[in-house]
Amino acid sequence: MPFLFEPMLPAWMRFVPGDAPIVLVAPHGGRRPADAPIKDSIKVNDLHTAELTAELAARTRGYALINQSFDRNELDLNRISQVRTRAPWFLDALLELVAYLVERHGAARVFFIHGWNVVQPVCDLGMGMRQRGQAVLPASKFAAPTLSPAFFNTVVMPFREMALGCGLDVAIGRRYPAADKENVMQLFSTRFAKEHMPTIRRLAELSAQGVVNALQLELGVGLRWPGDEREQFIETFRHTLGQCEHFFPHQEKSFASLSDRVPPTHSHVVSDRSVFAAGEPTAAQRFGLHFHDPASGVGIMGGIEVSAEDGTHGGRLMLSLGGTEMALFTGEDEARRISGQMQVGGLVWRSEPDGFAITYSGPVMRFAHPQAFIRLEEGLAASWVERAEVRLRLTIPSRVETLPTPLFLAHLHGEIGLQDRVQRIDAWGFLDSFKPEESGRLLPRRLVSLPFGPDLGLFLSLVETPEGPRSSGVLYQHGVPHQLHSDDWELRYHLVDGRPTTFHVSVARLSLQCHGESVTAIPIVRHATHGSALNVTFGLSRTIWQGREARGVYEFSERRRE
């Protein structure tokens, strides 16, 4: 049957008719125009969610409302204030669909499909709730659940258990709990029961009756881009969330009584024992890699980070493959203790007596777009997903009881396997253990690493903080680290069109004067939390001093100017 809302839909909104009592919505499936200006704050559209939502509708016989092309920065269909004033047709469509399905089937389920720009094959379930340990609790003081306890127990939990059994991570409100009052998901809760707008009030009433249950699914790159993990997700969805025959909407239990059904996730975190004699990672700690293999030309960057605030930790593994070609893993996981090990998805750092064993098995995002991180959405759209196998061993020959600056000259060796190559790695470089607030990643900074070998290495970093410049420097001579202060060294970059091509380093202590060049240059616009965005260039460098070569990494960043 035709619906009244259909003629009211804009041309960029696709409606897929169905038969099952399921409504699938892709609010951010559009694209930002290629000539749109770069702003300090830009939200990336959820790439591949339009096609994925259409596929889910086809596999479940569900209905779908799909934003196929419109930029979320112009109109965000997941913000109540915007749809209330600028897209009331969207609210009309939601109400007409769910009311029809409730009348016909006795119940309806609504799924909003979003994108989470981590490469990890992860699905974060948003329902106004968060998992804390083995309990599922309200995400905030004012948030209301968007589904009933019975639906959570009999439909959502089987989906999660089946996905975990397939190796797909499923979180409950880890990053996106759908709890904000502006989130359209909250319309499917009692939070808007007294709303003056009839459309919104009626959606809240149907949800309060337990006949409409809504769930937000935030999907990592590994579950959205074409590949085996995406197909596993679709089939898991079809056999659980997409099966409507066996749910009885009036069966009720409390959320608290469901906690014993929440299985432990397969994510782990902080070491129970020391990694270095100088001390073990604390509750807020990070480790960063700065390596450039001279034989293969491969750069290995990234690291792992533990957050004390939200009980999560993140990980990155960035492989520079030459030019602007890169392979990237990013992820975020719940923090749980396992002796001597930190893990984010398939990325595992295991403590060894003299360093770390670093392994990764899983999907990586690979791209060669020359401006992949200047216009992030363009770069993501040009990328593809493939599988990687990484086995690395990081050793720190110099065991120092007290290190003035958390920078370690280290040796990295092992193997990296991608779809088109298996590469041996044997490189000297640096491991840093700056705290997250010390790294200066979202502030203007310049840094360079010069690892000449096991007996000589130099790492220099200068961060422009609101309180003034903050420098970090360390010189390793014959395995002994010496802290360098800001007046001990100088680092100057030569810029072409605002991007560094060469640099000059001088260190009075060594009478060192050397020039270096950027072997690869990756340009980025890094959107900062406060202040204007940053123009960043990072990559691999090459330096020669007294006949000795150092293959390292560098970064130069400054505030963008319009």
Output helix, strand, coil percentages for the chain, rounded to the nearest 5. Answer: 20, 40, 40
Two tokens at 225? 């881009």
Contact between 288 and 439 under an 8 Å Cβ cutoff? The reply is yes
How large is the average pLDDT for residues 370-384? 83
Structure confidence by residue, pLDDT tens digits, 188-237 = 999 999 999 999 999 999 999 999 999 999 999 999 999 999 999 999 99
Quote the pLDDT of residue 403. Answer: 63
Structure confidence by residue, pLDDT tens digits, 25-75 = 999 999 999 888 877 678 899 999 999 999 999 999 999 999 999 999 999
Quote the pLDDT of residue 509. Answer: 82
Contact between 512 and 484 under an 8 Å Cβ cutoff? The reply is no
Structure confidence by residue, pLDDT tens digits, 34-46 = 888 877 678 899 9
Two tokens at 490? 């100088």
Higher pLDDT, 401 or 118: 118
Measured distance CA(190)–CA(203) in Å, rounded: 9
- Is the pLDDT assigned to residue 517 strictly greater than 50? yes
- Is the pLDDT assigned to residue 319 strictly greater than 90? yes
Contact between 315 and 304 under an 8 Å Cβ cutoff? The reply is yes
List, in order, residues 6 or more apart from 310 with CB less than 8 Å away.
none
Measured distance CA(186)–CA(142) in Å, rounded: 10
Quote the pLDDT of residue 529. Answer: 62
Structure confidence by residue, pLDDT tens digits, 411-453 = 999 999 999 999 999 999 999 988 777 777 788 999 999 999 9
Two tokens at 129? 């709730």
How large is the average pLDDT for residues 251-266? 47
Measured distance CA(170)–CA(162) in Å, rounded: 10
- Identify the burial level of 364 via C-beta atoms within 10 angstroms of its C-beta, where 0-12 means exposed, 13-18 middle and 19 or more buried: buried
- For the chain, the structural domain boundaries read 6-261, 285-559
CATH topology of domain 6-261: Aminopeptidase (3.40.630)
Quote the pLDDT of residue 324. Answer: 85
Structure confidence by residue, pLDDT tens digits, 141-177 = 889 999 999 999 999 999 999 999 999 999 999 999 9
Measured distance CA(361)–CA(46) in Å, rounded: 25
- Is the pLDDT assigned to residue 254 strictly greater than 70? no
Per DSSP, the three-state class of 95 is: helix
Confidence of residue 492 (pLDDT cuts 50, 70, 90): very high
Quote the pLDDT of residue 308. Answer: 59
Quote the pLDDT of residue 423. Answer: 96
Quote the pLDDT of residue 394. Answer: 97
Quote the pLDDT of residue 255. Answer: 57
Quote the pLDDT of residue 250. Answer: 53
Quote the pLDDT of residue 281. Answer: 42
The share of the chain scoring above pLDDT 70, in percent, equals: 88
Measured distance CA(498)–CA(183) in Å, rounded: 39
- Identify the burial level of 25 via C-beta atoms within 10 angstroms of its C-beta, where 0-12 means exposed, 13-18 middle and 19 or more buried: buried
Quote the pLDDT of residue 499. Answer: 84
Quote the pLDDT of residue 249. Answer: 54
Please write down the long-range contacts of 349-352, taking CB distance under 8 Å and 24 or more positions apart. Answer: 349/287, 349/304, 351/271, 351/273, 351/274, 351/275, 352/393, 352/395
Question: Quick one: which H or E segment has residue 366?
Answer: strand 355-367
The share of the chain scoring above pLDDT 90, in percent, equals: 69
